[in-house]
Chains A and B, each alone.
Chain A
C-alpha cells in the first residue's frame, strides 16, 4: 500500500502543481472550470492509451519513439504556455486597463483557455501514464490485494490533489492587481523547465548530441527526487544534474518568452480611461 501511495503521490504532485497554477491563472474566467476538467479528462484518457501502448511506443521510430513522443508533447506544452503569456500581454492587460468594471473575466482572457487546457492534458497524461503502468505492474506481480492497492493509490491521489489545492489557494491570496505579474512569471519559468525536459529527451534519443556534459551536480545539496526538489523541479525546472544543453535551452526559453512578452505588450498600458465615469477604482 505504501508503495502505491508514494508513487502515485510523487507523480500527481507534478501534474497537480501545473493544474493549480493554470486554475489560478484562469480564476474567474467563464468556462475555466470546464476547461480544467476537460484537460484533466483528456489527460487521463491519453495516459491510459500511452500506458496500454507503451511497448509499441518504445519500439517505434527505431527505438526512440518514447523519447520523441515525450519531447513533442512537452514542446507543445511550452508553445501553449508561451502563446498564453504573449496573448495575455498583448490583450489582457490592455483590456483590464480599459474595462475594469467588467470584472474578473476580462483580466484573464478566455481565448487562451484552450491553450491552457492542452497544458493540463499534457501534464496529466505524462504523469498519469506512469501511474497506470506502475499499478498494472503491481497487479500483474500479485502479492498485493486489490483493495490494498486501491487504498494506497487513493491516498496518494488525495495527497497530490491537496498539493494542487495548496498551489491554487496560495496563488488566490495574491491581490488581483499583482496576480497578473506573478502568474506571467510562474508560467515563464514553468515553460522553461518543460523545455529543458524536452531537451533531455532529445539527448536521450540521440537526436541532440551536443553539450551533453553535466553542467553541475547539486544532488548532495538538494536532490530533485526529494519532495522540495520535486516541487522546485515542476515550478522552475530545477534539476540536480542537468546537461549543458538543458541549461542553454532553459536560458534561451526563459529569455525568448520574456522578450516576446515585452515586445508584444502594448506601449500604452496606463492609458487613462475615455470617460470619467470609470474613475472610481
Chain B
C-alpha cells in the first residue's frame, strides 16, 4: 500500500467516525401508547415541542406490528404482546403521523408537539 493509499484510507475512517457524532443524554419527555385491537391509545398523544421524546409502545394484540412514521423517521417491529421503546428527536410544534406498517390504512395516530 502506498502513502497516498494509506492517507486516503485514514481520511475515510476519520470522516466516518466524525459522522457518528457523540450521543448526548437529554432529559427526554416520556409518552406511553398502547396498541389494542389495532388501535393506538391515545391516538393523538401530546408531547412538549423542543425536547427529545421517548415513546413506550405496549402491543396488547397477539399479532406483531411495525410502528412506523415517516416524519419521525421511526421504523420498529413490536412483537405480539411485546413492548418497545422508541427515541424521537426534539420536534418543532406540529402533528406527526405514525402508523402500523402492516395495517397502515386503519391503524394510525398523530404525535402532537406543542
Is A227 at the interface (CB under 8 A from chain B)? no
A203 to B4, CA, bound (A): 33
User: Which residues of B in the span 70-96 have a Cβ within 8 Å of any Cβ on A?
Assistant: 70-71, 73-87, 89-90
Do A264 and B77 contact each other (CB < 8 Å), given the known contacts A140-B63, A206-B23, A209-B89? Answer: no
Docked-complex contact A140 and B87, CB < 8 angstroms: no
Docked-complex contact B79 and A204, CB < 8 angstroms: no
User: Chain A: interface secondary structure?
Assistant: helix
Is A281 at the interface (CB under 8 A from chain B)? no
Residues of B within 8 A of A54 (CB): 64, 77, 79, 82
A122-165 interface code vs B (CB 8 A; 1 in, 0 out): 00000001100110111011000000000000000000000000
Docked-complex contact A260 and B8, CB < 8 angstroms: yes
Docked-complex contact A133 and B74, CB < 8 angstroms: no
Select one of B20, B64, B70, B90 contacting A208, CB under 8 A.
B20
User: Which residues of A in the span 225-255 have a Cβ within 8 Å of any Cβ on B?
Assistant: 225, 240-241, 243, 245, 248-249, 252
Is A42 at the interface (CB under 8 A from chain B)? no
Docked-complex contact B102 and A58, CB < 8 angstroms: no
A-B contact count (CB 8 A): 110
- Closest residue of chain B to A129 (Cβ to Cβ) is B77
Is B44 at the interface (CB under 8 A from chain A)? no
Do A256 and B4 contact each other (CB < 8 Å), given the known contacts A58-B82, A134-B102? Answer: no
- Chain A min CB distance to B89 (Å): 4
Interface residues on A, range: 35 or more
A58 to B65, CA, bound (A): 12
- Closest residue of chain B to A252 (Cβ to Cβ) is B15
Interface-lining segment among A15-23, A59-67, A166-174, A270-278 = A59-67
Docked-complex contact A7 and B102, CB < 8 angstroms: yes
Docked-complex contact A263 and B73, CB < 8 angstroms: no
Docked-complex contact B102 and A137, CB < 8 angstroms: yes
Is A200 at the interface (CB under 8 A from chain B)? yes
- Chain A min CB distance to B37 (Å): 11
Docked-complex contact B80 and A263, CB < 8 angstroms: no
Docked-complex contact A204 and B19, CB < 8 angstroms: no
- Chain B min CB distance to A226 (Å): 12
Docked-complex contact B75 and A204, CB < 8 angstroms: yes
Do A130 and B21 contact each other (CB < 8 Å), given the known contacts A137-B102, A256-B15? Answer: no
- Chain A min CB distance to B34 (Å): 16
Docked-complex contact A200 and B23, CB < 8 angstroms: no
- Chain A min CB distance to B112 (Å): 18
User: Which residues of A in the span 191-240 have a Cβ within 8 Å of any Cβ on B?
Assistant: 199-200, 202-214, 219, 225, 240
A63 to B82, CA, bound (A): 12
Docked-complex contact B19 and A249, CB < 8 angstroms: yes
Docked-complex contact A252 and B19, CB < 8 angstroms: yes
Residues of B within 8 A of A240 (CB): 70
- Of A129, A210, A240, A245, chain B has the most CB atoms within 10 Å of the CB of A210
- Chain B min CB distance to A187 (Å): 17
A133 to B81, CA, bound (A): 14
User: Which residues of B in the span 4-28 have a Cβ within 8 Å of any Cβ on A?
Assistant: 4-5, 8-9, 12, 15-16, 19-24, 26
List, sorted by A's number, 8 A–B pairs whose CB atoms are closer than 8 Å. Answer: A133-B64, A137-B65, A206-B87, A210-B22, A212-B90, A245-B21, A252-B15, A260-B8
Binding site for A on B (CB under 8 A): 4-5, 8-9, 12, 15-16, 19-24, 26, 52, 62-66, 70-71, 73-87, 89-90, 101-102
Q: Which 10 A-B pairs have the closest CB atoms?
A: A210-B21, A55-B79, A137-B63, A63-B85, A212-B89, A206-B87, A55-B82, A256-B12, A133-B64, A54-B79
